[in-house]
Structure 1
Amino acid sequence: MSENKTKNLTLFALTWPIFIEILLHMLMGNADTLMLSQYSDNAVAAVGVSNQILSVVIVMFGFVAQGAAILIAQNLGAKNNQIAGKIAVMSISLNLLFSLALSAALFIWARQVLNVMDLPTELMGEAASYMQIVGGLIFVQALIMTTGAILRSYGHTKDTMMVTIGMNILNVIGNFFVIFGPFGFPVLGVIGVAYSTAISRFIGFLVLVLLLIKRSEGQLDYMSFFRYQKRHVKSLLKIGVPSAGEQLSYNSSQMVITYFIAQLGTIAITTKVYTQNIMMFIFLFSIAIGQGTQILIGHMIGARKIEDAYERAIKSLRISIIISLIMASIVYLIAKPLLGIFTDNVTILEQGAFLLLMTVALEPGRAFNLVMISSLRAAGDVKFPVYIGIIVMWGIGVTTAWFFAIYLGLGLVGIWISFIADEWIRGTLMLRRWKKRYWVDMNFIEEKEKA
């Protein structure tokens, strides 16, 4: 990870491997959904609700990974390579301890957690089994997130992409055996898919560790795995906790909205799962652009290139909005054939197609959040997105979801109305915050304190 390898990073060079990596992560989830849809729609709904809960837990691991990614990028920009190496090793150790505790809790209390979601009785057995296996081994995902974030901050986005390709191949092969039972292999359904997911993640993590050791070129301080320096832990938590807090608030609010959807019945749950699986292919462009922009702005802030950082965020936002609008429109035009890949249920096809029409209005708003929040984090303005996120997600998103979907009886259409309101209001406020440049003053004050 020598200095010349972290110079001259461009948005495209960083973003296309991130895009493919995220695409493959989504394909892994879609492979589970598609292959399980050949098994039963109930299995899809069970795994969908379980994954909604697991996504909240995974976000909690993000506070270390996010903090590490931003601090490493800033220190590399400031040419403090040894400090970056210490933070990298320390972050892996911290997330291992934290994630082991959460994994144990999910394994022990899987059924109790699902009961809170008011899950239909016919889904409980498979959902609990999936939760215990994937949730009990979720600490591996925490380690993947942290190690991957470190490699990306150093500019090695192709490494994490290649590992994700390997994980996907292993996962699909595993799913094929446990769902379709070729060569006399036992058909294990949801339980088999859970094991396939967990095993492919574990192998992926081992490869990421080997790559990190290979790329480190002696800059990693392995003793930092056991010895934490207080100032580095404090800096990591100062950035990481608020960064993950915004995402945790989002996923928690989505879990509450999933609770509303569960009251609408199994068909509504399944429609939501299928539709959002397709929507992921739209906003993954914005996720990739946001992550690439975060790395670039982190390096620019470390190098004190304030004006370059400001312009980078605005340019990235324009690109993201245009791509989101084009992709959402294309997806709507072929909505029914896409949904037909998963199911032939007429109700699901009709509802899902209309929701994808509404998604044309939703996705540009989401682009604002994915790009601008990443930019604010990289610049050190991490608290504002959390405060605004909590207020808008819960005050508007969850409230309007209940009002339109349950009280007015609009069902999933009401849920999508709440999604649109939430994304656009938050996104507009994030852009306004960036243009006010409060983050410039924050970096100036922090620099004076260090001096």
Structure 2
Amino acid sequence: MTKDKFSLWVLAWPIFIELFLQFLLGAVDTLMVSTISDDAVAVVGFSNQLFNAMTTLFATVAGGAGIVIAQKIGSRQQEEARTVAVISLKATMIIGACLSVLFIAIPTPIARLLQMPEQLIPLATVYISTVGGGMILTAVMSTLSTMIRNTGNTKGPMYIAVGMNVIHILMNYGFIFGAVGFPKWGLAGVAASTVISRLLASLVLLFIFVGAFERKIVVQDIFLRDRKLFKEVMQIGWPLGVNMACWVFSQLAIFAFLAMLGTKELAARTYMNTLESFCFLLGYSIALGAQIQIAHLFGAGRTRDAYKAAYKALKVGLPLVILNATLLLIFGKYVLSLFTQDSEILAIGSSLLWMNLLLQPGKMLNMTLGDALNAVGDTRFTMTISLVSMWLVATGCSYWLGVSVGWGVIAIYGCMIADEYLRGALSFVRWRAQKHLRSRDSQLKREQSPILTVNNASVS
């Protein structure tokens, strides 16, 4: 039963459905917002990069907690897994509440700090204050989804993603077009729809979370404390958080560089973000499923199976990513025309489709082996290579070649490709070394030694 529950396919396919629906939400969101204006699309794309950057503050705890929960369940320490889940949820709720207050209080200065073009400031103020004001819901939703998945239940978050997407799309339609009695609020309505759908999703996830462990979570558990377990979470989580922060802040910097080039480049990149999601969707779900599986196998002491699991995920994921990127290259220009009729934006997007064919295999290699290293607790290594590669290659070279030298968005994309392959190659070398897997084997031998000594003494 446990083995089937933590098999790669059982874990990965609900994650794929959930991620596909998130992709669909983003695509429909962008398509609907594009009926307002290209400026509105740029605001949503820019603001979402900011929100992604802020989520790293609570993702530090949530990511570490998810890995520790899978490891504890693998080693049959259900009560410790439950405690980790409760104390981690409390921590992320506090962080999310602080971020909500910040975005409600100073949305306009935040938009200007990010070098957002002046003509976008009024729209950005409304969107940032509304969606950013709901960051506590984002914190709760992402934390609960992560922890529920790592108990082996990947179907629950999938079903909730279905409901959230349907509600969000229907409300978007109502607010944008003033349909079925909704006020015609434009971008403000899209922001309100986002917050309401996240609230409903958070409530249902909380209901599932209460019964996710062998012993039901009750109200009195709000007072649970365990410094030792929280320290264990943070030992894995803080490098993971820095790693994630490197990515989102480097992407935020790259969006700022694109804003310097012009609103056309910024809008084109926003549309490409939506299309690119299609490319690695299935591969990314396989990588996430493999991370849960490897963490569980690692906790159970099955280190050889854990080692092989990463390569199995790559063997399945790489061909899928290449196939998806090829399909996007063929049909992408037609899809882009659904979002905008601006000839300059379409020309930029079409040229990026070719570069995307190079980008996606490197991204798949990097995220699969990086997630595998994270699953066994080797998060400091992935943090270190992210700090070096993302800031020197992806961000530094993007500014130098794209802005200073003047080669534009093509050069920026080239730097992103180089970053993915560099980190993927370094992660491959590290995984082959099996450092943490060998340490786990040594730990298990030490734990078994006293038992063997006692048994031998009894026989004597």
TM-score class, shorter: over 0.9
**Structure 1 pair 437/132, CA: closer, same or farther in 2 (3 Å)?**
same
- Pairing 1:263–2:241 present: no
**Residues of 1 paired with 2:16 and 2:147: CA distance?**
17
The amino acid across from 2:188 in the alignment is I
The amino acid across from 1:9 in the alignment is F
**Alignment gaps of 5+ in structure 1:** none
Partner of 2:281: 284
Partner of 2:44: 47
Give TM-score scaled by structure 2 length.
Answer: 0.94
- Pairing 1:236–2:256 present: no
Partner of 2:365: 368
- Pairing 1:85–2:82 present: yes
Aligned-residue Cα RMSD (Å) equals 1.7
Contact (CA 8 Å) 2:15, 2:289: kept in 1 or not? yes
- Pairing 1:343–2:340 present: yes
- Identify the match of residue 158 of structure 2 among 155, 158, 161: 161
**Residues of 2 paired with 1:15 and 1:184: CA distance?**
40
**Structure 1 pair 223/378, CA: closer, same or farther in 2 (3 Å)?**
farther
Partner of 2:188: 191
**Residues of 1 paired with 2:416 and 2:439: CA distance?**
32
**Alignment gaps of 5+ in structure 2:** 449-460
**Residues of 2 paired with 1:393 and 1:349: CA distance?**
28
Contact (CA 8 Å) 2:27, 2:274: kept in 1 or not? yes
Partner of 1:316: 313
Matches within 5 A, 1:244-259: 244-259=241-256
The amino acid across from 1:13 in the alignment is V
- Identify the match of residue 298 of structure 2 among 301, 306, 326: 301
**Residues of 1 paired with 2:245 and 2:444: CA distance?**
29
- Identify the match of residue 383 of structure 1 among 380, 383, 387: 380
Contact (CA 8 Å) 1:286, 1:370: kept in 2 or not? no
Q: Share of identical aligned residues, percent?
A: 33
**Structure 1 pair 6/200, CA: closer, same or farther in 2 (3 Å)?**
farther
Q: Measure how far apart 1:218 and its partner are.
A: 2.3
Report the 3-state secondary structure (helix = DSSP H, G, I; strand = E; otherwise coil) of the residue aligned with 1:370.
helix
- Identify the match of residue 98 of structure 1 among 84, 95, 99: 95
Report the 3-state secondary structure (helix = DSSP H, G, I; strand = E; otherwise coil) of the residue aligned with 2:119.
helix
Give TM-score scaled by structure 1 length.
Answer: 0.96
Contact (CA 8 Å) 2:86, 2:224: kept in 1 or not? no
Matches within 5 A, 1:120-199: 120-183=117-180, 185-199=182-196
Contact (CA 8 Å) 2:69, 2:85: kept in 1 or not? yes
**Residues of 1 paired with 2:5 and 2:141: CA distance?**
26
**Residues of 1 paired with 2:48 and 2:327: CA distance?**
27
Q: Measure how far apart 1:77 and its partner are.
A: 0.6
**Please, which moves more after superposition, 282-291 or 120-129?**
282-291
Matches within 5 A, 1:205-224: 205-220=202-217, 223-224=220-221
Partner of 1:35: 32
**Please, which moves more after superposition, 26-35 or 248-257?**
26-35
**Residues of 1 paired with 2:116 and 2:289: CA distance?**
38
Listed one character per residue, the Cα deviations across residues 270-322 of structure 1 (whole Å, up to 9, x for unaligned) are 00000111001112222211110011001101111111000000111222221
Q: Measure how far apart 1:7 and its partner are.
A: 5.1
**Residues of 2 paired with 1:174 and 1:448: CA distance?**
57
**Residues of 2 paired with 1:214 and 1:231: CA distance?**
24
Contact (CA 8 Å) 1:89, 1:222: kept in 2 or not? no
**Structure 1 pair 83/219, CA: closer, same or farther in 2 (3 Å)?**
farther
Contact (CA 8 Å) 1:380, 1:443: kept in 2 or not? no
Q: Measure how far apart 1:83 and its partner are.
A: 1.0
Listed one character per residue, the Cα deviations across residues 332-384 of structure 1 (whole Å, up to 9, x for unaligned) are 01121110110111111111011011000000000012111111011111100
**Structure 1 pair 284/249, CA: closer, same or farther in 2 (3 Å)?**
same
